[in-house]
Structure 1
């Protein structure tokens, strides 16, 4: 069977051939179908593997306090049974208590640092032109649009389970200045809308510059049926997939594999070269803040007069913990990078998770720091050096 026939066969297992697949959608336009990201595994040897000895060793977990009355997520693989469900309550019951605590015990202590022995990622350096205010005294909705519902098409095009909400039980700031996106699984709840709830946030700020870098320190939930993501799309309204998608951090089903991706085509054999990816194993991504950077240098590449789209040619670079893991050229016909937004979400179940459902409990994506800067760390000279030693994205 040819490569393209194999790709077509894989795609048809997930949805009818030719259907637009969208994980991200607001339902605001009938022409706005968002990325399905129904990934297909490439041949062996195409994924980026970090050099021996460069993987971080696990460090003690740091769990962040939820709003009053809510239990925090326990470490991966150490779930306990949650308290008996009280379905008559008007507010959701709390997630399971942390490992080693008691249902009626005190909440875990507030941590005082992010990475012992290192400079805190909260330090704002020169060249920062946007940094959201993670203050517990303001609503999350001031800095981010909080998407709601099941998407259009339903399940965000991937048969995902989650109902996105704007409730503080699903997205909130902690007293020590972190942003938490919490997915809550309660499969036995009698209300279908309350069984799988989560958060999906879109920055109200665009990248706004032809050259720059976005940096985030994230602790990612890693568990079966859970799919957290830190990524970018053009500002709405837009047309997916032609105007592009960039995935900076995403992992699913607890495999601790990060996927750096660039998409600008449909999931069809002829568009296969328009889906590029590199995979990086980060064994302890659920137990420490991991640094993710995406740098772009698109100034001077031009805008097409006929449609206002990018003329292409800009350079893009993905980093994990300061190491360049993937590079690529900005495809022509995509939205100019200045008009893109940042997204954070935690999806549950669906095609990408291979139909697996998360166990009952709470799963937190913790954003320790997020900022936009005029240049990547090391400046544009460092970017040039990284470009020459980095690898191109591999066709999915």
Structure 2
């Protein structure tokens, strides 16, 4: 009897030992992609928000909010722009494209209550109050300016956050005009950010000011993957990214980074053109 049971006991013993290992392995996230891999929208995702800028002369107020909250105090990083609210020179629809334009401008005679001496005007558009998302596939088709002193950015922040990185920041694409061959991608958190010098960052090397490109983000439970034109450029685990986020499109001027080599005022205005913004999510997240 014991002899006949031995093989069964051995089998059960090994099954018991291996089962936790298999369960643990099954719960491990898949490896992250590497730069150069294809970045495609996953199956089963549906459009939940988009703007293709085909109508109107200014950004749709039902989709876009003009962020002006720090004009009086001054914007972060020593930036020099005043973000105008609904000023057509700075944010408009032109030839089926959204144009965000930073301009050298004397604002002293305009009677602006929140003006604090800035020599440049620009616009910072967000989806605050209109749309926010946790996870999804984002694609923004845009042409970025490459004038020295300009700082265009396409990025995400939690809706109720004022640059303390609680809930994270996702920089889909940002560039400084004196580096026309590099677009930066990054994620920032309260513990890992550019101030501490330990944030996670990737780069795309190409002449970004030469034309329109698709700037893309895949954000899921286990990964943040950023790409350009269907190719992965940066990937990381989304540690601490637990809140819905809004999309931000802006062109800053100067500051510690973009102004490090001066500002070519004669070359301004600096414009970012956006032909479409689309967000997809899994059908069960709608």
The question of whether the paired residues in 2 share the 8 Å contact of 1:207 and 1:372 is answered with: no
Structure 1 residues 66-85: aligned runs within 5 Å: none
The question of whether the paired residues in 1 share the 8 Å contact of 2:143 and 2:273 is answered with: yes
Distance 1:194 1:130, change over 3 A: same
Q: 1:344 maps to what in 2? A: 249
- How big is the shift at 1:223? 1.2
- What TM-score do the two structures reach when normalised by structure 2? 0.71
The question of whether the paired residues in 2 share the 8 Å contact of 1:216 and 1:371 is answered with: yes
Distance 1:357 1:270, change over 3 A: closer
Distance 1:356 1:150, change over 3 A: farther
Distance 1:244 1:265 in 2: 7
The question of whether the paired residues in 1 share the 8 Å contact of 2:63 and 2:131 is answered with: no
Q: 1:368 aligns with which of 261, 275, 283?
A: 275
Q: Which has the higher contact order (CA 8 A, sep 6+)?
A: 2
- Please state whether the residue corresponding to 2:255 is helix, strand or coil: coil
Residue 173 of structure 1 pairs with residue 79 of structure 2: no
Deviations 1:277-324 (A, max 9, x none): 0111121x21211111101112xxxxxxxxxxxxxxx31111111101
Residue 279 of structure 1 pairs with residue 203 of structure 2: yes
- How big is the shift at 1:242? 2.7
Q: 2:239 maps to what in 1? A: 331
Structure 1 residues 144-159: aligned runs within 5 Å: 144-148=64-68, 150-151=70-71, 153-154=73-74, 156-159=75-78
Q: 1:197 maps to what in 2? A: 121
Q: Which runs of 5+ in 1 are unaligned?
A: 1-47, 52-125, 299-313, 376-396
Distance 1:135 1:268 in 2: 37
The question of whether the paired residues in 1 share the 8 Å contact of 2:52 and 2:277 is answered with: no
CA-based RMSD? 2.9
Q: 2:220 maps to what in 1? A: 297
- Please state whether the residue corresponding to 2:51 is helix, strand or coil: coil
Q: 1:261 maps to what in 2? A: 186
Q: Which runs of 5+ in 2 are unaligned?
A: 1-33, 38-44, 110-115
- Please state whether the residue corresponding to 1:127 is helix, strand or coil: strand
The question of whether the paired residues in 2 share the 8 Å contact of 1:49 and 1:279 is answered with: no
The question of whether the paired residues in 1 share the 8 Å contact of 2:101 and 2:123 is answered with: yes
Residue 356 of structure 1 pairs with residue 262 of structure 2: yes
Distance 1:157 1:267 in 2: 18
Distance 2:161 2:204 in 1: 32
Distance 1:158 1:194, change over 3 A: closer
- Please state whether the residue corresponding to 1:335 is helix, strand or coil: coil
The question of whether the paired residues in 1 share the 8 Å contact of 2:140 and 2:214 is answered with: yes
- How big is the shift at 1:135? 4.1
The question of whether the paired residues in 1 share the 8 Å contact of 2:36 and 2:231 is answered with: no
Distance 1:233 1:222 in 2: 24
Q: 2:50 aligns with which of 127, 131, 142?
A: 131
The question of whether the paired residues in 2 share the 8 Å contact of 1:233 and 1:246 is answered with: yes
Q: 2:3 maps to what in 1? A: none
Structure number with greater Rg is 2
- Please state whether the residue corresponding to 1:158 is helix, strand or coil: helix
Distance 1:270 1:147 in 2: 23
Relative to structure 2, which stretch is displaced further, 215-224 or 235-244? Answer: 235-244
- Please state whether the residue corresponding to 1:374 is helix, strand or coil: strand
- What TM-score do the two structures reach when normalised by structure 1? 0.53
Q: 1:35 maps to what in 2? A: none
Deviations 1:8-48 (A, max 9, x none): xxxxxxxxxxxxxxxxxxxxxxxxxxxxxxxxxxxxxxxx9
Distance 1:247 1:193, change over 3 A: same
- Please state whether the residue corresponding to 2:265 is helix, strand or coil: coil
Distance 1:171 1:329, change over 3 A: same
